[in-house]
Amino acid sequence: MHLSRYLLRKSLPISSQFQTAQQVVAQRLFSGQAVSPKLVKQLRELTGSPLKDCMKTLDETKGDIEQAKELLRKRGLADADKKVGRATAEGYVGMRLDRQSRLLTMVELHCETDFVAKTEKFKEGLDRVIETLHKQGNALQFGQTDMSNQDRINQIARELKLSKPLDSDLQSQTLEDGIKYIISKTQENCKLAKIYQRTWNPEEGQIMHSYIHNPQQINSMLFGKLGTAILMQTNDKKHNGEIQDLAESLALHIAAMKPTYLNKKEVPEDLKKKLKEEGPKDQALWKMYNRDVLMEQELATTEESIKVKTLMRQRESEIFTPILIKEWAFFNIGA
Amino acid sequence: MWLNVLKSRVSEKSSQLGKSMLRQSMFMGMYPSASFAKFDRSKPHLNVGTIGNTPFTLPLLFIFNNNKIGHIDHGKTTLTAAITKYLATKGSAEFKDYHDIDKAPEEKARGITINATTIEYESQNRHYGHVDCPGHADYVKNMITGAARMDGGILVVSAADGAMPQTREHILLCRQVGVKNIIVFLNKCDVVTDPEMHELVELEIRELLNSYQYNGDTTPIIKGSALCALNGTDPELGEKAMEQLIEALDNNIDIPEREMDKPFLMSIDSSVNIPGRGTVVTGTIEHGRCKINDNVEMIGIRRKPQQTTITGIETFNKQLDFGESGDNVGVLLRGVTKEQVKRGMCLSKPGSMDVRRNFQAQLYILKPDEGGRSKPFFTGYRPQCFLRTADVAVDVTLPEGMQMALPGDNFTCTMKLNYPLPLQDMLRFALREGGKTVAAGVITKCLEDSEEDLKEEEERAAKNKKAK
């Protein structure tokens, strides 16, 4: 952006005859005569916006701080639109697990560099997004199949109001505006990439466990670079205690081994076919199973060599009832 | 003579893990293409780096003295390109435009993936290396594995934007990886020309630097425009600013203490009994120098040091009067039997180092495709630690709140060696288990050993005596 402005200035004829409106504005903006540094500093402390934007708006409002703030906000949002679409590969996974109301909310919020992810503004934004979604209770129900459904995520972002606006000067902000606000503050594109939200019912023998790798905490939200959740079910609630630790170690396992499919059945037929043709005998297919299929993977939480499905069978035979993995979610930044 | 026997062994074993890591990394990326020109050693070499931000904002660039590291993103790349362009006109660098710099290949140095392009340039009295890292985690990883060392940094802040929230994180990174000197380059002074505004940004940065224990008041701040320098337009903000920047690098970034000026330390590779003369120990002198008749201590593995005197030094069948850092030598010791010497012990200047078992370290866990294991590990994990020539079991305790360590992670943790060794900050080591290198690490802090540790060692020693 700066570059284009710079080039624009350069390419315009210097002669005053041909001065365009833009050039007049540019000269006024960058001459800096009209604005006192004191005011600029004050506005920067208030808004944290880039210096030249502060100068520009103050110049236009002739030094009126309140008006300049308002103008900056609008500009920031307009600028944010330009940044949408830039590649985002960093960020954080945020998670809130409420055992009382049996509600899990997990969100993946992206930005461009991990420096920005570490800023307070970004973390605060993530917390607010989670809080907002969490307050919806079981109204949303973002299951495993919906997790990265971008259309649905965008729709919700447009409709939902933040529980408390990120911009303290505003009465209310939608989720989308909140994210734009973060963009305007960090000058990087931010994106709500994934949402997983689930309620579960222990009365029916359901168990939910989730794990954030190497977590940090803000309020009641845990966040990190990697998060997993697993929803398990038996046919009776009396087994809940017994499968709790199984759920815990599987949540860790998923984080470590990054499976793509739950079991062999879930692997698409054409992929199976392709791998069968590829490898000598079924080796390529077999390798893929061991690498990407949760049930076939070696359990990561122990040094012993034991498959996940073997562990499940063992537990099943101990409690004489089938154990089901109903759903699982794997959120990973940078993958 | 006695060294002749050991010659082959020395050369074999001196390619010991940690050392070879460092050596390789020194050369890594220095000569990107096939140009194997002769390296001129007459100037001290320094490393420099850039740290990335979003395209076209160019807020930060790190330049490191004696080695350079960093990431060049669209914006930051402009400055790097500008420096090379300026110096190319003086004939002391090869001009790289930002397409050359930006296509940083993923280098695989000893199996660890490193995202860094190294560019070299020279000032009048120094040689600089300049590397670019894409993000915080990437840089820390390079620091741990020894691929990157920062002797100083250039912080690039855009005059149009001022200090941004992430500027804080950039300075924090410098702190974390131990950068001692920072220089600030205030870029884009052609966009915002008002000197009062420059002062405003300056003030902000100085405040910020002060809040992270850098001396913000004396930090040089160079005002200029990388774009002007690159396009050859405004010479005041372009060329002149580059000149000032290089000058500031030369004057403000300290050359790190030479290994030779530190107290003597040599890690023992092996030992041989020469009948009629005594015991010879071999190894590479890590730092300092030694000469015949020096009193030295043999430390490590045992809690108490053993005093002895050097009665002869040889290298590859030749007598030496003294040995200095980097030399492969055999040292004849007075009054020491072969049984008393164990691989992993160190010879040192008396009193210069004490032995420890506990330390804090930053670890990078290797991914499976880097030769590491695919499974995570947990507190209580006990791999072998390869530290200098020593090879010792170590207990790893993960930081609080961290349930497991995954391949690709980097974090600070506390570790406890099975027996005491001389430790020092910034010492690199590797963790290995079952034929795989699990992690690379660097010591960040030596911790005091507790009473229980000492007690445990005594009991173990007593047990061993009994067994004999």
A159-198 residues touching B, CB cutoff 8 A: 185-189
Please say whether the beta carbons of B97 and B229 come within 8 A: no
Residue A292 is given by DSSP the state H
Dihedral sign of CA atoms A190, A191, A193, A195 in order: positive
Tokens of B349: 């200047």
Same domain, B209 and B148: yes
Mark yes or no for CB contact A32/B192 under 8 Å. Answer: yes
A243 burial level (CB within 10 Å; 0-12, 13-18, 19+) = buried
Mark yes or no for CB contact B191/A120 under 8 Å. Answer: no
Torsion of CA B433, B436, B438, B439, to 10 degrees: 110
Same domain, B232 and B321: no
Domain-located, residue B447:
yes
- How far is B376 from A299, CA to CA, in rounded Å? 10
The pLDDT of residue B308 is: 93
pTM of the model: 0.73
State the Cα angle at B401 between A334 and A132, rounded to 5°. Answer: 60
Q: How confident is the model over A306-329, as pLDDT tens digits?
A: 899 999 898 888 888 888 888 899
- How far is B185 from A115, CA to CA, in rounded Å? 19
Q: Contacts from A12-15 at CB under 8 Å and sequence distance 24+?
A: none
Confidence band, pLDDT 50/70/90 cuts, at residue B443: very high
Same domain, B422 and B300: no
Other CB atoms within a 10 A radius of the CB of residue A73 amount to 18
What is the residue whose two structure tokens read 């570790």? B415
Residue B340 is given by DSSP the state G
- How far is B186 from B155, CA to CA, in rounded Å? 8
Domain-located, residue B33:
no
Same domain, B232 and B365: no
Let me know if B391 is a catalytic residue: no
Domain-located, residue B2:
no
- How far A187 CA sits from the closest chain B CA (Å)? 8
Domain count, chain B: 3
Instruction: Output the CA–CA distances (angstroms, integers) from residue B32 to B27, B51, B77, B94, in the order listed.
Output: 10, 20, 17, 12
Instruction: Output the CA–CA distances (angstroms, integers) from residue A130 to A124, A200, A220, B275, in the order listed.
Output: 10, 18, 10, 76
Residue A63 is given by DSSP the state T
Single-letter code of the amino acid located at B375: K
Tokens of A255: 């984080």
Most confidently predicted of A300-304, B296-300, B317-321: B296-300
Mark yes or no for CB contact A50/B194 under 8 Å. Answer: no
Least confident of A11-15, B36-40, B345-349: A11-15
The pair phi, psi for residue A85, each rounded to 5°, is 110, -20
Which among B198, B167, B216 is positioned nearest to B51, based on CA atoms? B167
Q: How confident is the model over B48-79, as pLDDT tens digits?
A: 655 533 222 222 333 333 222 222 333 456 77
- A90-259+297-332 homologous superfamily: Elongation factor Ts, dimerisation domain (3.30.479.20)
Least confident of B32-46, B116-130, B321-335: B32-46
Residue A236 is given by DSSP the state -
Q: Closest CB to B406: pick one of A256, A298, A303.
A: A256
Torsion of CA A18, A20, A26, A27, to 10 degrees: 40
Q: Chain A residues with CB inside 8 Å of B381's CB? A: none
Percent above pLDDT 90 for chain A: 14
Let me know if B76 is a catalytic residue: yes
- How far is B230 from B218, CA to CA, in rounded Å? 28
CATH (domain of B444): 2.40.30.10
- How far B280 CA sits from the closest chain A CA (Å)? 42
Which among B200, B140, B312 is positioned nearest to A114, based on CA atoms? B140
Strand (E) or helix (H) holding A240: helix A240-257
The pLDDT of residue A127 is: 92
Same domain, B231 and B167: yes
Tokens of B184: 């600030």
Let me know if B77 is a catalytic residue: yes
Domain-located, residue B29:
no
Among B50, B73, B85, B223, the active-site one is B73
Least confident of A33-37, A297-301, A310-314, B285-289: A33-37
Strand (E) or helix (H) holding B228: helix B226-231
Which among A25, A30, A46 is positioned nearest to B196, based on CA atoms? A30
Domain-located, residue B368:
yes
Tokens of B341: 């010497």
Q: Chain B residues with CB inside 8 Å of A211's CB? A: 403
Please say whether the beta carbons of A331 and A93 come within 8 A: yes
Once rounded to an integer, what is the mean pLDDT over residues B387-416? 90
Q: How confident is the model over A80-124, as pLDDT tens digits?
A: 788 887 778 889 999 998 888 889 999 999 988 888 888 888 999
Once rounded to an integer, what is the mean pLDDT over residues A53-72? 83
Which among B351, B254, B334 is positioned nearest to B297, based on CA atoms? B351
- How far is B465 from B460, CA to CA, in rounded Å? 9
Confidence band, pLDDT 50/70/90 cuts, at residue B100: low
Domain span holding position B456: 355-467
Mark yes or no for CB contact B52/A257 under 8 Å. Answer: no
- How far is B139 from A201, CA to CA, in rounded Å? 45
Domain-located, residue B24:
no
The pLDDT of residue B135 is: 65
Residue B43 is given by DSSP the state S
Same domain, B389 and B280: no
| Residue A48 predicted with pLDDT over 80 | no
- How far A49 CA sits from the closest chain B CA (Å)? 8
CATH (domain of B164): 3.40.50.300
A59 burial level (CB within 10 Å; 0-12, 13-18, 19+) = buried
The pLDDT of residue B124 is: 78
A4-63 residues touching B, CB cutoff 8 A: 5-6, 10, 30-33, 37, 40-41, 44, 48, 50-52, 55
Answer with the residue of higher pLDDT: B421 or B231. Answer: B421
Please say whether the beta carbons of A296 and A267 come within 8 A: no
Same domain, B307 and B381: no
Q: Is A290 on the interface with B (CB under 8 A)?
A: no
Q: Closest CB to A37: pick one of B188, B197, B409.
A: B197
Domain-located, residue B14:
no
| Residue B184 predicted with pLDDT over 90 | no
A115-154 residues touching B, CB cutoff 8 A: 115-116, 118-121
Instruction: Output the CA–CA distances (angstroms, integers) from residue B380 to B165, B265, B426, B429, in the order listed.
Output: 38, 32, 24, 19
| Residue B414 predicted with pLDDT over 90 | yes
The pLDDT of residue B158 is: 80
What is the residue whose two structure tokens read 């950039």? B170
Please say whether the beta carbons of A251 and A260 come within 8 A: no
CA A73 to chain centre: 23
**CA-based nearest residue in chain B for residue A1:** B56
Which among B287, B424, B272, B268 is positioned nearest to B347, based on CA atoms? B268
Same domain, B234 and B279: no
- How far is B141 from B441, CA to CA, in rounded Å? 9
Tokens of B7: 């010659």
Same domain, B321 and B441: no
Pairing mode of beta strands B181-187, B221-223: parallel
Q: Chain B residues with CB inside 8 Å of A55's CB? A: 192, 194, 197
A279 burial level (CB within 10 Å; 0-12, 13-18, 19+) = middle
Q: Chain A residues with CB inside 8 Å of B193's CB? A: 30-32
Least confident of A67-76, A124-133, B384-393: A67-76
Most confidently predicted of A145-149, B190-194, B362-366, B458-462: B362-366
Pairing mode of beta strands B384-387, B289-291: unpaired
- How far is B329 from B331, CA to CA, in rounded Å? 6
Sorted by sequence, the CB contacts under 8 Å of residue B128 that are 6+ apart come out as B45, B46, B47, B48, B63, B65, B68, B120, B121, B122, B249
Instruction: Output the CA–CA distances (angstroms, integers) from residue B91 to A173, B99, B121, in the order listed.
Output: 57, 21, 10
Domain-located, residue B402:
yes
Q: How confident is the model over B3-25, as pLDDT tens digits?
A: 444 433 333 333 343 343 333 33
Mark yes or no for CB contact B404/A1 under 8 Å. Answer: no
Q: Closest CB to A52: pick one of B53, B173, B191.
A: B191
Dihedral sign of CA atoms B63, B66, B72, B77 in order: positive
Other CB atoms within a 10 A radius of the CB of residue B39 amount to 11
Radius of gyration of chain A (CA): 26
Single-letter code of the amino acid located at B47: N
The pair phi, psi for residue A270, each rounded to 5°, is -65, -30
- Picking from A115, A181, A188, A210 by the largest number of B CB atoms within 10 A of its own CB, the best residue to mutate is A115
Confidence band, pLDDT 50/70/90 cuts, at residue A335: low
Which among B200, B73, B79, B245 is positioned nearest to A187, based on CA atoms? B73
What is the residue whose two structure tokens read 């360590």? B405
- How far is B280 from B273, CA to CA, in rounded Å? 6
Other CB atoms within a 10 A radius of the CB of residue A163 amount to 17
Mark yes or no for CB contact B197/A32 under 8 Å. Answer: yes
Same domain, B202 and B321: no
- How far is A124 from B98, CA to CA, in rounded Å? 35
Please say whether the beta carbons of B310 and B288 come within 8 A: no
Let me know if B99 is a catalytic residue: no
Q: How confident is the model over B146-169, as pLDDT tens digits?
A: 666 667 788 888 888 787 777 887
The domains of chain A are located at 3-83, 90-259+297-332
SS3 content of chain B, % helix, strand, coil (to 5): 30, 35, 40
Residue A200 is given by DSSP the state -
Confidence band, pLDDT 50/70/90 cuts, at residue B216: confident
Sorted by sequence, the CB contacts under 8 Å of residue A120 that are 6+ apart come out as B165
- How far A2 CA sits from the closest chain B CA (Å)? 7
The pLDDT of residue B7 is: 38
Single-letter code of the amino acid located at A129: V
Q: Chain B residues with CB inside 8 Å of A51's CB? A: 159-162, 192, 197, 200-201
The pLDDT of residue B110 is: 40
Beta strands in B135-277 (DSSP E): 152-158, 181-187, 221-223, 265-274
Radius of gyration of chain B (CA): 25
ipTM value of the model?
0.74
| Residue B27 predicted with pLDDT over 70 | no
May I ask the CATH class of domain A3-83? mainly alpha
Mark yes or no for CB contact B135/A90 under 8 Å. Answer: yes
Same domain, B360 and B319: no
- How far is B420 from B303, CA to CA, in rounded Å? 6
* CB-facing half-sphere around the CA of A285: CA atoms within 13 A: 17
Tokens of A95: 């998670």
Asked which of B315, B348, B381 is the last residue of a domain, the reply is: B348
